[in-house]
Structure 1
Amino acid sequence: MSAHEPRVTFEPVDVERDAALLHEWVTHPRSVYWMMGETTPAEVAVEYGAIAANPHHHAWLGRVDGEPAFLAETYDPQHSELAGLPDLRAGDIGMHVLVAPTSAPVSGFTTRVFTSVMEFCFEDPSVTRVVVEPDVRNQKIAALNAAAGFVVAREIPLHSKTAALSFCTREAFAASRERDGDRTPRPVPAAADHLNPENLERAQAALVAKAIAEFSHERLLAPRATQQGWRLTSPGGQSTYDFTAQRFALEHWVLDPASVVRTVDGAPRPLDVQEFIVEFAVLLGIPDALLPTYLEELASTLASAAWKLSNSVLSAQELLGADYQAIEAAMTEGHPSFVANNGRIGYGSDDFAAYAPETGSDVRLVWVAVRRSAARLSLSAGLDEANLYRAELGQARLEQFEGVLTELGLSPADYLYLPLHPWQWTNRVTITFAPDVARRDIVFLGESQDDYRAQQSIRTFFNRTQPERSYVKTALAIQNMGFLRGLSPRYMAGTPEINDWVHELVQGDEELQARGFGVLREWAAIGYTGDAFHALGFTSPYQKMLAALWRESPFSGGRLAAGERLATMASLLHRDAKGNSLVAALVTASPLTPTEWVRSYLRAYLRPLVHCLLAHDLVFMPHGENLVMVLRDDVPVRLLMKDIGEEVAVLGNGPLPAAVERIRAEVPLEEQSLSIHTDVFDGFLRHLSAILDGDGTLPQASFWGLVRECIEDHLADHPELAEAAARQDLLRPEFRHSCLNRLQLRNTLQMVDLADQSSSLIFAGTLENPAAPSWSPADVVG
């Protein structure tokens, strides 16, 4: 154990992944009281498979600083061997805990784990007592129980032991913590062991290399060739950066971070991305008033990178067999194009540890009741309020919420239920909306019983406890990558109807169905508007603080067939700590050749997007985080699009339902193809092609040839779309160069007007189209 306070996390046991480890633990001589010493690995798998299938019994793998360290079980005593005992009462939860046997025990470690498990049990506000039934001979656990506040009620006979039936109330546990001087304190918010010179040096080199690459790609900077490589000189001439790099299609630069050498006035100086930005600020065009904000976002991005350097442990090979959320948490890069891509201004270091997706921390959402007369709940067709809440909370939890309101003298019928990010409740709602809470227009109900995991988009959560339940997207008043991450109740009111319309269009299109292309509907949205800020006569970020939406889970509705698994498409751009790419590992592990693998991927990704544009004038925001890949034998076979409500548009003038009219966008014809050229070619495929080429998996000429083939094959199969294809001309020799970092540099607080994104674009000439028949790798200089 290091000197810092350990980070303890809980996750459901994955039987396939964890059975061998659990067998090692439960059969160890020190685990004699678990009475599994003679079991085989297969028997352990069966045992924990049965627990996983039991809705009243849950097994949790506990990690300490990311490493497996203990096993915990929680259960409903009334659905166990204890059922029917007169000692039991409502609000009881049963608990078992096993600390991993080790040859080098650490003083106090077992107590810390035990305390964390007790805290985990009491995180559910409906729990009033923890129940344990240890073997009466187990003196070590008896001592731990007593220290935590357990009182032995009596001895009872169970099928394999005589047990000391014991109870610990919430108050007794709190008293034990106070009595012992809270000897297992929460991590100190300022603790930051990952911020050290070694990690900083690596993070700075990587981010400076990315800044040079992406700003050069956007033609803000212009490195010149030297005999040894490339050189970039600051406007005043004081600073130079020498480096080696490869150049690929679409003016894509790949720098070797280790090669970047900085000099200032002729003397070597360490790499520092904030100083780099200041040195080149006149060329980058950052307004003076916003430069400090951008520097802060860079500092936060460095902090995130340093954390990942200390904690990212899964290799590309290990990710091949990882589950959906393990892959999500393993991503070491934010947006592939943006330099300042992990700003998260507003989070403290404790918030980062608790809520950043890369930490893999489980989160309990906060639920509040909002007065119905000051809120709006919008639902997809066929979904009603009662079914929504029952599906997401369960009947028992709904009754508990109703009880909270009733005890306050309030009528449950007067309220709607709204989930919140815990940070939002603590840092915004109880302060900025204090009057609304005080007059009980907003009522705190408690935490979710389910554990959630933050996704790469920061404010969206995946349900870890019951994966078939919806994603929850929450308002979050932190500044991240050019936006305050709020949600507008007014804007979201029509989101379910828009999603229904897109879903029906996709479901009714034979081409899209043949590709297996689907959308994860945002099928419910809620927003509170009873605050003082909504009474103003103008829009404000304060009007986006209290809202949420529910999005279908990819595990719902039988979407996955046997042998299929999920991964974020962003993972195709991932490299592990040693620089190995996940996409190369996938290609190698699959039964296909690189050409066949890429062809399958493009048919699943590019072809549906091209079809939506040509057949329906429908465009998405198809970057990596917005798509979920369905993999079979490590090959992407179909994709699911998400984040429909905010990032979909119709470019044509055809009739639309009134509720869908909001997504119609007036976009000049010459810019309409940018939904493919910029968002797909430049925004994602240029990065993927360079990785495949750089790793020796598939040359870029072959890759872009497959892109062209994909588009040509689509047209050959759909001659009725020839006119639309000619109008968009996706294979033309060049297209306008729309620049993302320029948007953030111009206004790091709000990059674009979401209501009129086209007018916000910034262009830098044109790019040669590598999918054009006339393009050749020789067109790439350097």
Structure 2
Amino acid sequence: MPTLTLEPVDPARDAPDVHRWLTHPRAHYWNLLTSTENQIRDHLTVLARDERQDAWLGRADGVPAFYVETYRPEVLLEPTQFATRAGDLGMHLLVAPPESEGSHGFTTAVMAETVSFCLREDDGLGALRLVVEPDSANTPILAKNAAAGFRVLREIDLTADGHTKRAALSVCTREDFATSPLGARHLVRTDPTSHLEADLGAAAHRRLVTKAISEFSHERLITPEQAGEHIWELTAGPSRYTFRAGVLPLEHWVLEEDSLQRTVDGTPRDLDVQELVLELQEALGLPDALVATYLEELASTFAARTATLEQARRGARPTSAELLTSGLQSVEAAMTEGHPGFLANNGRIGYSLSDYRAYAPESGRTTRLVWVAARRELSHLSLGEGMDETAHLELALSPEERDAFAGRLSGSGLDPADYHLLPLHPWQAEHRLPITFAPDVARGDLVVLGQGGDEHQPQQSLRTFFNRTRPGAPYVKVALAIQNMGFLRGLSPHYMRDTPAVNDWIQDLVTHDPEFAACGFSLLRERSALGYTGDAYHRTAATNPQRKMLAALWRENPLPHLGEGEQAVTMAALLHRDHEGTAFASAAIRASGLEPRTWLTGYLHAYLRPLVHALLAHDVVVMPHGENLILRMRGHAVVGAFLKDIGEEMAVVGPRALPAGVERVRARVDGDEKALSIFTDVFDGVLRHLSGILAADGLLSAGTFWQVVAEVLDGYEAEHPGTARGLAGDVDLRAESFAHSCLNRLQLRNTLQMVDLGDQASSLLYAGRMDNPVAREATPVELAAPPIARTA
């Protein structure tokens, strides 16, 4: 059998061959028998210019032998005929008429190679599912399709170029092809479990066990014993773990990953994060009723880790050096850790493997949101100051989308003015809309409009999307009813009614305070919010997760607000190590040419200082973890920051006057608890990890790191003596110690709902008190740390 290859069609070069094949009687199902060569050349040119379609020339031992068209299914199929998913790809195949008899098996080989090319990731198109719609009377191609794993969904009437046919709508997933007769014999390069090979699994277990020991020790759930200089031991059930580590301020354990060993009765055993958790279940306080759920979240986190390792092995993951000059969305997709303190931080219970590949942020794929029309009197659109519905729609949808959706409503005899347009996550549209909200769809309170035209990329927070089609278009955040890291990731229509007003209030505060401008600190406002409340779940006596499954909000895009020569980078990147073990933060410091101490001061001026000012001068606290800030960088140094995700995670912790629509954000607490917004969320949640990275990489000792933090606080106090202890004089960020609030303890106590969102403060769990590394009365202690090997 000859060697088969595919390459993009060159219209000028390939039109004669393709024309000859399409006008042969064997190609009558293409309905192009009377076409001219110029018409075929024009057709190929159109395909080459249309980003939704492509044309491919297939060669056999270098000789032109077959023709393939690939396209997005919605080019030919109406939403009422087929609900497309992210990763879907349409395909048409034409094999050149044989020059002579004796080529038995050639068409079969071409079919196998074409399907493989469309589905495989390494040197193919990487589709997750192929869609074809051959004429139902074309029995030879139906047989070939079946042999390749295609499943006929149903027959439809399909009209294209003035011709109507009865088509056998069929699909083929990677798994379908891999187990088909053709896939089993020809070029199967897409093993759905290729990311779960033993060596990748061992590396993922090593990383997760290292993190588990570090974070559980930090939270004082376990207590390793020192067995020598920088050598530690941990007994867990029948297992004994030994490792090299240093303990830095804030009881931050920096383990040398390669040194970690496990033995049982003196016999070496493989590392296994699930086994470790079972061994430590009693010490962790993990309830029997929830242990399986937590283990499942660990399994999902493990699978995500192996997937990124597999991508790295085939060269599909960027290095930290490459990220230094990459765009915001390339950096977003490169992140692998999520929240750095949580062990089970990629639970995503509800996603299948194909869902993971389509929608996980680290997959870096784009998708299209599914839109529904929600009856106006059963939904609520909230708009920020200066916004009206027309302006909102112009930002939320392209003109083509607005026209198409209005046309679909009008074509169904409905008045578009009677509805709001609500976007859904594709997973939500498939798993929740037609099931959980089936009565609402049936009675016409929700009208399914189909996919939008814009391509969106999922962000680290899973349910937030960045528009890749229209520059400057807002982020959109939607509900997603999967279990992930302690919560079902819904979005409350009731809570969001006030979200634009909350954003406007804090925007006014930030805009009129020159301290924020001096720090380069600004907001990405949530300007619009929409929720549907017409379902039966909103009429129950008790609240329920179903109330939070149909809602969306729109947030400003940072890119139009960048200055000349600035790069936008998610702050999570500062805690990222690539697959080679190189930290982004360390690479940025070296590339900046600045002294590490100077670089750190600039970062703290843009991040820590405005958060301290918000607390002390305004009694305002936010949730400032790595996913919630976008850094502005110039010359690889931090020069400013955008705060986002404000409406759900901002509070006013003092008595200051608030507008009626903003009163819900008030949470009166005492001074010690106010200070935890800096101690827990900034010191422990972000700076502790960054300090460990810079110390391990030999750029900045932990003692020097915290001395710089203290200097930034001193500078703020010197310039703002009147508010250095807060408006009520009860906040001391230089106190000797603070309450040690623990995140993993929350998830271990109840992995289904870590805290009561209505009363988060009373839900927190503490493990005594933690020494403050910037206390006034003590010089930061430089705890000994071994030379830590860099680990990915």
Are residues 1:612 and 2:606 paired? no
Aligned-pair distance for 1:180?
4.9
Secondary structure at 2:678's aligned position in 1?
helix
Aligned-pair distance for 1:276?
0.7
For 1:615 and 1:102, the matched residues in 2 are separated by: 70
Paired position in structure 2 for 1:769: 772
> Structure 2 matches for 1:346-385, cutoff 5 A?
346-385=350-389
Of 585, 592, 595, the residue aligned with 1:593 is 595
> Normalising by structure 1, what TM-score?
0.80
Residues 662/173 of structure 1: CA separation in 2 closer, same or farther (3 Å cut): farther
> Normalising by structure 2, what TM-score?
0.79
> Structure 2 matches for 1:163-174, cutoff 5 A?
none
Of 694, 709, 713, the residue aligned with 1:707 is 709
For 1:104 and 1:214, the matched residues in 2 are separated by: 57
Aligned-pair distance for 1:105?
8.7
Paired position in structure 1 for 2:227: 226
Are residues 1:489 and 2:489 paired? no
Contact 2:214/2:255 (<8 A) preserved: yes
Contact 1:294/1:340 (<8 A) preserved: yes
Aligned partner letter, 2:363: T
For 1:553 and 1:273, the matched residues in 2 are separated by: 38
Are residues 1:539 and 2:543 paired? yes
For 2:748 and 2:225, the matched residues in 1 are separated by: 23
Query: More deviation in 705-714 or 119-128?
Result: 119-128
Contact 2:53/2:72 (<8 A) preserved: no
Of 392, 396, 415, the residue aligned with 2:396 is 392
Query: More deviation in 251-260 or 618-627?
Result: 251-260
Aligned-pair distance for 1:94?
7.8
Aligned partner letter, 1:440: G
Contact 2:742/2:766 (<8 A) preserved: yes
Contact 1:93/1:121 (<8 A) preserved: no
For 1:95 and 1:620, the matched residues in 2 are separated by: 42
Instruction: Write the deviation string for residues 379-422 of structure 1: whole angstroms up to 9, x where unpaired.
Output: 10111112211222123321211111122222212111100000
Are residues 1:181 and 2:145 paired? yes
Instruction: Write the deviation string for residues 639-660 of structure 1: whole angstroms up to 9, x where unpaired.
Output: 0000001111100011100111
Paired position in structure 2 for 1:211: 212
Aligned partner letter, 2:656: G
Secondary structure at 1:335's aligned position in 2?
coil
Instruction: Write the deviation string for residues 641-680 of structure 1: whole angstroms up to 9, x where unpaired.
Output: 0000111110001110011111101222211101111100
Alignment RMSD? 3.5
For 1:671 and 1:777, the matched residues in 2 are separated by: 23
Query: More deviation in 719-728 or 733-742?
Result: 719-728
Residues 704/774 of structure 1: CA separation in 2 closer, same or farther (3 Å cut): same
Residues 533/107 of structure 1: CA separation in 2 closer, same or farther (3 Å cut): farther
Of 760, 764, 781, the residue aligned with 2:763 is 760
Residues 755/262 of structure 1: CA separation in 2 closer, same or farther (3 Å cut): same
Aligned-pair distance for 1:354?
0.5
Aligned partner letter, 1:353: R
For 2:602 and 2:780, the matched residues in 1 are separated by: 23
Residues 104/491 of structure 1: CA separation in 2 closer, same or farther (3 Å cut): farther
Residues 31/248 of structure 1: CA separation in 2 closer, same or farther (3 Å cut): farther
For 1:436 and 1:197, the matched residues in 2 are separated by: 47
Paired position in structure 1 for 2:630: 628
Of 478, 483, 495, the residue aligned with 1:474 is 478
> Structure 2 matches for 1:305-316, cutoff 5 A?
305-312=305-312, 313-316=317-320
> Structure 2 matches for 1:46-195, cutoff 5 A?
97=54, 115-119=69-73, 121=75, 180-181=144-145, 183=148, 185-188=172-175, 191-195=192-196
For 2:235 and 2:364, the matched residues in 1 are separated by: 40
Contact 1:123/1:447 (<8 A) preserved: no
Contact 1:298/1:340 (<8 A) preserved: yes
Aligned partner letter, 1:291: V
Query: More deviation in 753-762 or 96-105?
Result: 96-105
Paired position in structure 2 for 1:677: 679
Paired position in structure 2 for 1:521: 525
Aligned partner letter, 1:761: L
Instruction: Write the deviation string for residues 602-644 of structure 1: whole angstroms up to 9, x where unpaired.
Output: 1000000010001100011000010000110111100000000
Aligned-pair distance for 1:772?
2.2
Of 398, 417, 422, the residue aligned with 2:421 is 417
Contact 1:365/1:422 (<8 A) preserved: yes
Aligned partner letter, 1:625: E
Paired position in structure 2 for 1:156: none
Paired position in structure 1 for 2:667: 665
Aligned partner letter, 2:386: G
Are residues 1:287 and 2:287 paired? yes
Residues 499/95 of structure 1: CA separation in 2 closer, same or farther (3 Å cut): closer
Aligned-pair distance for 1:264?
2.2
Residues 605/554 of structure 1: CA separation in 2 closer, same or farther (3 Å cut): same
> Structure 2 matches for 1:571-590, cutoff 5 A?
571-590=573-592
Paired position in structure 2 for 1:263: 263
Secondary structure at 1:656's aligned position in 2?
coil
Residues 102/298 of structure 1: CA separation in 2 closer, same or farther (3 Å cut): farther
Aligned partner letter, 2:567: R
Secondary structure at 1:198's aligned position in 2?
helix
For 1:173 and 1:563, the matched residues in 2 are separated by: 55
How many pairs were matched up? 669
Contact 2:381/2:530 (<8 A) preserved: yes
Aligned-pair distance for 1:100?
11
Residues 405/764 of structure 1: CA separation in 2 closer, same or farther (3 Å cut): same
Residues 382/106 of structure 1: CA separation in 2 closer, same or farther (3 Å cut): farther
Paired position in structure 1 for 2:4: none
Instruction: Write the deviation string for residues 463-504 of structure 1: whole angstroms up to 9, x where unpaired.
Output: 111131111101000000000000111111111100111111
Contact 1:122/1:170 (<8 A) preserved: no
Aligned partner letter, 1:222: T
Paired position in structure 2 for 1:686: 688
For 2:215 and 2:777, the matched residues in 1 are separated by: 26
% identical equivalent positions: 49
Paired position in structure 2 for 1:43: none
For 1:101 and 1:264, the matched residues in 2 are separated by: 57
Aligned partner letter, 1:458: L
Please list every run of 5 or more consecutive structure 2 residues that lacks an aligned counterpart in the other structure.
1-6, 15-37, 83-88, 90-97, 99-106, 112-130, 151-171, 177-190, 786-792
For 2:136 and 2:243, the matched residues in 1 are separated by: 58
Instruction: Write the deviation string for residues 294-328 of structure 1: whole angstroms up to 9, x where unpaired.
Output: 00000000000000101142111111111110110
Secondary structure at 2:639's aligned position in 1?
strand
Contact 1:124/1:448 (<8 A) preserved: no
Paired position in structure 2 for 1:248: 248
Of 460, 463, 467, the residue aligned with 1:456 is 460
